[in-house]
Amino acid sequence: MNILYLGPMQENVNQNFIPLHSKNNLVITWLINILASTTLIGMFILLALLPVFISSYTWVLIIIALVYYPIWAIVVYRFFKYIKSKIAITIKAINIDKQGVHFYKKDNSITHILYSQLEQSYLSDQYDVYLKQVNKTYHLAVRANGIETRVVFDGTDYGSMYYITNARALRARFIEGIVRFRPDLKVDPFIFKEFCIDPNHFTFDSKRYIKHIVNAALIIGLIILFSTLLAWLITLA
Q: Could you tell me which residue, 233 or 186, shows the higher pLDDT?
A: 186
Q: Is residue 114 domain-shared with residue 40, that is, in the same domain? A: no
Q: Is residue 70 domain-shared with residue 51, that is, in the same domain? A: yes
Q: Is residue 46 domain-shared with residue 102, that is, in the same domain? A: no
Under the banding of pLDDT at 50, 70 and 90, the label for residue 3 is very low
Q: Is residue 36 domain-shared with residue 83, that is, in the same domain? A: yes
Note the pLDDT of residue 15: 59
Q: Is residue 109 domain-shared with residue 180, that is, in the same domain? A: yes
Note the pLDDT of residue 159: 47
Torsion sign across C-alpha atoms 92, 95, 101, 102: negative
- Average pLDDT, integer, range 192-212: 84
Under the banding of pLDDT at 50, 70 and 90, the label for residue 155 is low
Note the pLDDT of residue 123: 60
Instruction: Classify residue 164: in a domain, yes or no.
Output: yes
Model confidence over 79-135: pLDDT tens digits? Answer: 888 877 777 778 888 999 999 999 998 888 899 999 999 998 766 567 899 998 887
Tell me the average pLDDT of the chain. 82
Note the pLDDT of residue 176: 93
- 3-state class of 220 per DSSP? helix
Note the pLDDT of residue 57: 73
Q: How far apart are CA 234 and CA 227, in angstroms?
A: 11
What's the pTM value of the predicted model, to 2 decimals?
Answer: 0.71
Instruction: Classify residue 221: in a domain, yes or no.
Output: no
Output the domain CATH number for residue 156: 2.30.29
> Where in the sequence is the domain holding 62, given as residue range(s)?
31-88
Under the banding of pLDDT at 50, 70 and 90, the label for residue 18 is confident
Query: For residue 40, how far is the Cα from the chain centroid?
Result: 21
Q: Is residue 48 domain-shared with residue 123, that is, in the same domain? A: no
Under the banding of pLDDT at 50, 70 and 90, the label for residue 1 is very low
Q: Is residue 184 domain-shared with residue 113, that is, in the same domain? A: yes
Q: Is residue 65 domain-shared with residue 158, that is, in the same domain? A: no
Q: Is residue 76 domain-shared with residue 98, that is, in the same domain? A: no
Q: How far apart are CA 156 and CA 187, in angstroms?
A: 25
Structural domains of the chain, count: 2
Note the pLDDT of residue 170: 93
Note the pLDDT of residue 63: 81
Q: How far apart are CA 190 and CA 4, in angstroms?
A: 9
CA neighbor of 149 nearest in space, from 138, 159, 141: 141
